């Protein structure tokens, strides 16, 4: 039953399609629904009355929880206003894990403080069975001097050489600003945002489902990381865009045999548990205190497409390349 859905984007209404997915069959569900803010979608009128919008949201949220495995997780991306209602539904049928604040400027909504974050609700189907991996991101550094921007005081010698554990405030992933990286879609998410969520909550070959596919951010992130995907989308044009991108994506976002998330040749997210194997691929300062001004440098930015392996350079060359 599930096999016919796997690794495809299906055209249609997500509630009808979700109803065809068996109970407890999906490892991670992620939804980025229309925000009811009158955005210019092709096939969807983004302006329902408040109660109508909330009743509609509740019906697909219930389905998302139903299809998620007991070890699985449920993510909902939206503006904080709608997440307060979503949390109210979800608290009755799943276990709250985090409210992730994704630092990104949003649309002003009248006389307000300037909205500067989106929220991502993270629920476990069952907290005790949840599959969850801690993840790390590179330390933030001054662009020119390479010094850490945060003052760690006397704790610099115990810093992780790659970067900090990811907290529930994400400031290192930016919305897609340049049109050359955007599709014809009003609210496409960055792929490495989804990659972080996928690395945090799934393993290779696990199944990820997104009921509001858009132009395929979740499916592409899943494919890059060797996961299986299912997407639902009303609009055939968005599905065409997704499929043409998927055709050009390889499941090879790896260093050695380890899945990692990267963006424009910068590693964005790794799993903490992978560091002991990953570190051999990085130039690391001998003295821990040098982490203050010496980033972990990947020993090559060159990928061999045939073998999916990083080509080793010698450490001195890598260091000079970084500092040039
Ligand atoms: C906020 S966008 C998702 C963007 C997506 N995360 C991306 O990065 O491309 C919401 C999408 O849901 C689609 N949509 C709206 N109502 C839907 C429904 N009932 N079933 C399936 N898709 C729907 C819209 O066409 C739109 O592409």
The confidence score (pLDDT) of residue 322 equals 44
226 torsion bin: left (phi>0), alpha (psi -120 to 50), beta (else): left
The confidence score (pLDDT) of residue 181 equals 67
Output the DSSP codes for 15-64: HHHHTTSPTT-EEEEEE----SS----SS------HHHHHHHHHHHHHHH
Beta strand 261-263 with 135-138 is unpaired
Query: From the CA of 10, how far away is ligand 1's center (Å)?
Result: 12
Percent of the chain with pLDDT over 90: 67
Q: What are phi and psi of 124, to 5 degrees?
A: -95, 140
- 266-271: strand order across its sheet: 163-165, 135-138, 266-271, 261-263
| Ligand 1 atom nearest to CA at 215 | 9
- The answer to whether 164 and 158 have CB atoms below 8 angstroms apart is no
CA angle 108, 110, 115 (to 5 degrees): 30
Query: From the CA of 301, how far away is ligand 1's center (Å)?
Result: 34
* pTM (two decimals): 0.90
Q: Which residue is closest in CA terms to ligand 1's atom 22? A: 233
Query: Taking 70 as the threshold, does the pLDDT of residue 302 lie above it?
Result: no
> What's the CA gap between 68 and 83, in Å, rounded?
19
The confidence score (pLDDT) of residue 43 equals 64
Beta strand 169-170 with 95-103 is parallel
Neighbours of 184 (CB within 10 A): 11
> What's the CA gap between 193 and 247, in Å, rounded?
21
Name all domains of the chain by residue range, CATH numbers in brackets: 3-131+168-252 (3.40.50.150)
Rounded mean pLDDT, 128-140: 97
Rounded mean pLDDT, 255-265: 93
Q: Sorting pLDDT into bands at 50, 70 and 90, what band is 180?
A: low
The confidence score (pLDDT) of residue 317 equals 47
Q: Which of 76-80, 146-150, 308-312 has the lowest average pLDDT?
A: 308-312
| Ligand 1 atom nearest to CA at 216 | 9
Instruction: Give tens-digit pLDDT for 3-48.
Output: 999 999 999 999 999 999 999 999 999 999 998 876 666 666 666 6
The confidence score (pLDDT) of residue 287 equals 86
Q: Which of 4-18, 43-57, 200-214 has the lowest average pLDDT?
A: 43-57
The DSSP code for 280 is G
Rounded mean pLDDT, 115-143: 95
Give counts: helices (H), strands (E), the chain.
8, 18
Q: Which residue is closest in CA terms to ligand 1's atom 24? A: 214
Rounded mean pLDDT, 105-126: 86
Three-class DSSP labels, 147-187: CECCCCHHHHHHCCCCEEECCCEECCCCCCCCHHHCCCCCC
Query: From the CA of 212, how far away is ligand 1's center (Å)?
Result: 4
Under DSSP, is residue 67 helix (H, G, I), strand (E, B) or coil? Answer: helix
Mean pLDDT, the chain, integer: 88
SS3 content of the chain, % helix, strand, coil (to 5): 30, 25, 45
| Ligand 1 atom nearest to CA at 14 | 20
The confidence score (pLDDT) of residue 246 equals 97
| Ligand 1 atom nearest to CA at 242 | 9
Give the binding-site residues of ligand 1, using a 6 Å CB cut-off: 13-14, 32-34, 41, 43-44, 185, 187-189, 212, 214-215, 217, 232-235, 238
Q: Mutate which of 34, 64, 186, 193 to test ligand 1's pocket (most atoms within 8 Å of Cβ)? A: 34
Query: Taking 70 as the threshold, does the pLDDT of residue 186 lie above it?
Result: no
Q: Sorting pLDDT into bands at 50, 70 and 90, what band is 150?
A: confident
> What's the CA gap between 309 and 312, in Å, rounded?
9
Query: Taking 90 as the threshold, does the pLDDT of residue 134 lie above it?
Result: yes
Query: From the CA of 225, how far away is ligand 1's center (Å)?
Result: 22
């Amino acid at each position: 039953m599930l096999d016919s859905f796997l690794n495809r984007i299906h055209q249609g209404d997500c509630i009808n399609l979700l109803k065809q997915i068996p109970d407890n069959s999906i490892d991670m569900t992620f939804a980025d629904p229309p925000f009811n803010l009158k955005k210019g979608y092709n096939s969807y009128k983004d302006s329902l009355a408040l109660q109508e919008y909330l009743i509609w949201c509740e019906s697909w949220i219930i389905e998302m929880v139903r299809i998620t495995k007991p070890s699985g997780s449920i993510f909902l991306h939206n503006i904080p206003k709608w997440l307060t209602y979503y949390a109210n539904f979800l608290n009755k049928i799943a276990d709250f894990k985090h409210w992730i604040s994704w630092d990104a400027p949003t649309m002003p909504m009248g006389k307000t403080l300037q909205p500067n974050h989106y929220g991502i609700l993270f629920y476990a189907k069952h907290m005790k069975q949840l599959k969850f991996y801690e993840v790390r991101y590179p330390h933030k550094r001054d662009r020119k001097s390479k010094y850490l921007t945060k003052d760690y005081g006397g704790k610099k010698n115990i810093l992780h050489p790659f970067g900090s554990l990811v907290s529930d405030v994400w400031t290192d992933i930016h919305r897609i600003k340049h049109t050359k990286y955007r599709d014809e879609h009003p609210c496409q998410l960055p792929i490495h945002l989804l990659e972080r969520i996928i690395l945090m909550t799934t393993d290779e070959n696990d199944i990820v489902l997104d009921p509001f596919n858009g132009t395929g951010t979740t499916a592409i992130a899943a494919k890059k990381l060797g996961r299986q995907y299912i997407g639902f989308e009303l609009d055939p044009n968005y599905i065409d865009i997704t499929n043409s991108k998927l055709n050009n994506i390889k499941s090879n976002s790896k260093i050695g045999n380890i899945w990692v998330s990267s963006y424009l040749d910068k590693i964005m997210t790794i799993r903490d548990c992978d560091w002991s194997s990953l570190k051999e691929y990085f130039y690391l300062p001998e003295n821990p205190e040098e982490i203050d001004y010496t980033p972990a440098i990947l020993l090559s930015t060159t990928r061999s497409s045939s073998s999916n392996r990083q080509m080793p350079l010698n450490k001195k060359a890598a260091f000079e390349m970084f500092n040039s």
